[in-house]
Structure 1
Amino acid sequence: MARIAVIGAGMGALAAAARLAVAGHRVTVYERTETYGGAVRRFERDGFSFDTGPGLLTLPAVWRDLFVKTGKEPLEACVELVQVDPSARHVFADGTEAVLPNASRAGVVSALDTALGPGAGGRWGDFLVRAREAWDRTRRPLLEEPLWPNWSVLADREPYPSVPHKRLLRTRRAGTLAEVGAWELRDPRLAALLESHALAYGLDPRVTPASAAVLPYMEHAFGMWSVRGGVRELARAVYERCLVRRVSFVFGAEVTRIVEKDGRAAGVELDGGTSRALGPGGGSVAEADFVVAPGAGGFVGVPPRGQGEVVPQRGLPSRLTVLLALRGGRPEGTAHRTIVHTRDREGELEALFGTAPAPAAGPTVTVLRPEDPGLVPDSAHEAVTLSVVVPAGAEPGTDLVEAALTVAERALPGLRDRVLWREVRTPADIAEETGVEGGSVPAPALAAAGGRLLHPANSTALPGLFTVGGWAHPGGGLPHAGMSGALVSGLVVEGPEFRGSQ
């Protein structure tokens, strides 16, 4: 039985802790804040409750697997999962709307043909077939296996089977998501639908590789799910599973350094000046046989990788979230999620990834309107969340909040008249909760693009030290966090020969 110190109580760390504990190890989690879940938090006021991190769940099988492997009670005995249908409502720049059913290719094809005109659904359906091929080629190396030592194979090879396209007397194939939209989907509204999946993760579709086609495919193939009571309930269930497996938690304990001894990780040093657990005074060392830390985006104590390793990602965008307490109940048949697309695509992309100011037409806004009585004081009120991608470290002012409300009113007329109060959460709030500079939000690992969207391996240059969570392989997103925990557990328990789930 080994002693294992886990730094931070994010979702990936919790997943690793539960798996390591059930394997017989003595696991202690040191969390600098006073609660668990990382970015998966909750805001409550006046009987209203909001998720302040992810509001929906994809690939719930990842978390089902965790509960199967760590105890007798399955996931559904601990939280209630509800498949969201429709999957999304899209309000495009020209005012056209499309309501897409959940996990139904035929239904989506029909809905797009009806909304956008004959042939639109067929082009999207054909794209999904190619996206599935990209998924089949990358699923194991990007989700279920430790990062390959020869990871450059993933960096150089584009798994998406682009359709040959004649342009200026030359035959070309789409190499970016924007080119897939322009050359294969051939409708600015379908292109906006495609690009919104990249934008949701803070990725610029103009340079994001075509392999990002796996992002809409995941949503299509595995559906979108809500958690009754909010996604925070998933974090609670995983935390409680850790307690059942006798994982120890020390909250209010900030780790300042990874201790090394004889060339390997040997524990963590805690800041005695800030640690509630230690009280005032000098720091203390907690010895361990293995240390599990956040990836490079979340903890500065992870040593640099060796030459030729994946370079940690920096500077990814963050989120502005506006929580709205509304008078008036949620109308029957309302979509849980609505994406209101910007009327100024280039302006928005330049504002996010260039140096231009915010677009006058307003940003793309995701509107979440969950059908969940537990989130509101009564049926005469509604809890709505607006989400906007913003640059990391930005301090969004009232102008951007008002712009988001104006955009949201394209999907929810009369919104301002219903607002009782609002709570604005900025990148600074994300930075405070996660410890990531600027409140950056990690993107999932993607193949191609020279490895720019891969994440560093879970094993590190220091023996005994492993990294977990969104800034380590396989990257950001709730399913990826769960897989990260599974990979770290496998590497600790089975050693470097571990090759992932079968």
Structure 2
Amino acid sequence: MARIAVIGAGMGAMATAARLAVAGHRVTVYERTAGYGGALGRHERDGFSFDTGPGLLHLPAVYRDLFVKTGKRPLESCVDLVQVDPGVRHLLPHHTIGVTLPGASHGGVAAALDGAFGAGAGERWNGVLGRARDAWDATRRPLLEEPLRADRTALAGDPYPAPRRSGLLRRRPPTLAEVAGRELGGPLGELLTGVVAAYGIDPERAPGSAAVLPYMEQTFGTWYVRGGMRALATAVYERCRERKVEFVFGAEVREVSVRAGRAAGLLLADGTEADADAVVCAVDPRLLPAHSPVRPRAQEPAGGAGAPSRLTLLLALRGARPADAVHRTLVHSPGLRVTVLRPDDPATRPDAEHEAVTVSAVCGPGAAGGAPGAPGPGELLELAERAVPGLRERLLWQEVRTPADVEAATGAPGGAVPAPALAGAGGRLLYPANATELPGLYRAGGWAHPGGGLPHAGMTGALVAGLIVEGAEFRGSR
């Protein structure tokens, strides 16, 4: 039985801790704040309740697998997980009707697009997502289920099989924006780029493989946990406690201790030393000193460098939630996409005559709505009113959560939020490997392979646990 020290108590950290504990190791989690969950926070006021981090879950199979592998009770017995249907409503500039897309139904989506944009629109959309499926099939294991290899050639090239344009030689793989323009155009192209941009990924710089993100949503659906997504963090925390994982809160890590050429524990800010046989860093490595061995080396991917943050409005509304309201609406505006979440969940409101709404948009790290080019709360509220008619008249109060609030919750400088890893772009959108050059030191969570987002952070648990339990022989999760 080895002693494992885990830095951070976010979702990737806890997923790693639970898997290592069930493998027989003694695991201690050191968290600088007073609680668990990282970005998956909750804010309550006057009977209203809001998620302050991710409001939805994609690829729930990641957490189903975690609960199957770490205990007797499956995920659905620990949380009330429901599929969101319709999956999303899009409100486009200069398109007053909008389009509502069903969840996890390629045929249903095609029919909805034909109805909104004319015959053939659904076929063109599903053609792009069919090519995205090919990219998914080609990279799913090396990108999501296997440790990042030293030779990253297979993931450096863009796997999206863009059709050749007649009479032209393609000198380079197209960007996601070019895929949208050439293969879809008009409002369909805006749907594709808007979904990807909402992940904090710039369609103008992203490879065509970024189309796997809308493919993933349309194929596997979008899910919500009743009571709020914070309930998922609580379920994972309780599973860790069942497996005898120890948590030390209010414990800021100053450095990783190194002895005899390997990780040997942690040095805490109060001067305490915690010995360990292996260390897992599941926080932004920028929180540790520049010379720390957990920092990516020059030959490693930058992973999340320059990642944007989020500006969020928590809105308490008077009046009942309309029966035909859609859980998620993506409001498209030139240069900006605003996500409006309206969960049909009694736990989010004081009674049936009120409604809790969350509005968010991607913004630059450290921006608080006043930085050049950054959206402000007023702009978000104006765009949200397109999704919630009469919003201003119904508004009781609002709270604004800036990147500074994200930084306070997660520690990430500027409140940066890592996006999922993507193949292509010469490996620029990959993240540092889970195993480091220092024996006994590993990386987990959204700042390590395979990147940010609830499912991707959860995947690091299987990868890091496999590397520690099986060593160099580990070839990937099964």
For the structure 1 residues 295 and 164, does the alpha-carbon distance in structure 2 shift closer, same or farther, using more than 3 Å as the test?
A: farther
In 2, are the aligned partners of 1:455 and 1:473 still within 8 Å (CA)? yes
Question: Distance in 1 between the 2:416 and 2:55 partners?
Answer: 17
SS at match of 1:420: strand
Confirm or deny that 1:456 pairs with 2:440. Answer: no
Counterpart code for 2:469: V
What does residue 219 of structure 2 align with? Answer: 221
In 1, are the aligned partners of 2:284 and 2:412 still within 8 Å (CA)? no
Alignment equivalent of 2:281, drawn from 272, 290, 293: 293
Confirm or deny that 1:34 pairs with 2:34. Answer: yes
**Structure 1 residues 96-495: aligned runs within 5 Å:** 96-155=97-156, 157-166=157-166, 170-172=168-170, 175-186=174-185, 188-272=186-270, 283-294=271-282, 296-297=284-285, 299-301=287-289, 302-303=292-293, 304-342=295-333, 344=334, 348=335, 363-397=336-370, 400-495=376-471
In 1, are the aligned partners of 2:301 and 2:429 still within 8 Å (CA)? no
In 1, are the aligned partners of 2:177 and 2:204 still within 8 Å (CA)? yes
Counterpart code for 1:336: H
How does the TM-score come out when normalised to structure 2? 0.96
Identity score, percent = 62
For the structure 1 residues 291 and 500, does the alpha-carbon distance in structure 2 shift closer, same or farther, using more than 3 Å as the test?
A: same
Question: Distance in 2 between the 1:296 and 1:389 partners?
Answer: 19
Question: Distance in 2 between the 1:152 and 1:73 partners?
Answer: 40
Q: Which runs of 5+ in 2 are unaligned?
A: none
Question: Over residues 286-323 of structure 1, what are the superposed CA-to-partner deviations in whole Å (9 max), with x where a residue is unaligned?
Answer: 00000000255553244244553223431111000000
| Segments of 4+ moved more than 6 angstroms | none
Question: Over residues 399-453 of structure 1, what are the superposed CA-to-partner deviations in whole Å (9 max), with x where a residue is unaligned?
Answer: 8111111111122221011111111000001111111111111011111101110
Question: Distance in 2 between the 1:92 and 1:299 partners?
Answer: 39
Question: Over residues 236-278 of structure 1, what are the superposed CA-to-partner deviations in whole Å (9 max), with x where a residue is unaligned?
Answer: 0000000000000000110001000001000001111xxxxxx
For the structure 1 residues 369 and 296, does the alpha-carbon distance in structure 2 shift closer, same or farther, using more than 3 Å as the test?
A: closer
- Root-mean-square deviation (CA, aligned residues, Å) is 1.4
The alpha-carbon deviation at position 382 of structure 1 amounts to 0.2
In 2, are the aligned partners of 1:174 and 1:183 still within 8 Å (CA)? no
Counterpart code for 1:491: L
Question: Over residues 10-63 of structure 1, what are the superposed CA-to-partner deviations in whole Å (9 max), with x where a residue is unaligned?
Answer: 100000000000000000000000000010000000111100000000100000
Confirm or deny that 1:499 pairs with 2:475. Answer: yes
The alpha-carbon deviation at position 126 of structure 1 amounts to 1.1
Question: Distance in 2 between the 1:98 and 1:119 partners?
Answer: 15
Question: Distance in 2 between the 1:296 and 1:10 partners?
Answer: 11
Moved more, 385-394 or 292-301: 292-301
For the structure 1 residues 298 and 73, does the alpha-carbon distance in structure 2 shift closer, same or farther, using more than 3 Å as the test?
A: farther
In 2, are the aligned partners of 1:96 and 1:116 still within 8 Å (CA)? no
Question: Over residues 144-185 of structure 1, what are the superposed CA-to-partner deviations in whole Å (9 max), with x where a residue is unaligned?
Answer: 000012113311x2111101124xx52437511001100011
Question: Distance in 2 between the 1:205 and 1:312 partners?
Answer: 17
Query: Aligned pairs, how many?
Result: 470
Counterpart code for 2:181: A
Question: Distance in 2 between the 1:421 and 1:176 partners?
Answer: 41
Moved more, 289-298 or 478-487: 289-298
Counterpart code for 1:324: L
What does residue 66 of structure 1 align with? Answer: 66
SS at match of 1:341: strand
Question: Distance in 1 between the 2:254 and 2:275 partners?
Answer: 14
How does the TM-score come out when normalised to structure 1? 0.91
Question: Distance in 1 between the 2:402 and 2:36 partners?
Answer: 20
In 2, are the aligned partners of 1:305 and 1:461 still within 8 Å (CA)? no
Moved more, 118-127 or 449-458: 118-127
What does residue 78 of structure 2 align with? Answer: 78
Question: Over residues 128-148 of structure 1, what are the superposed CA-to-partner deviations in whole Å (9 max), with x where a residue is unaligned?
Answer: 111111100011011100001
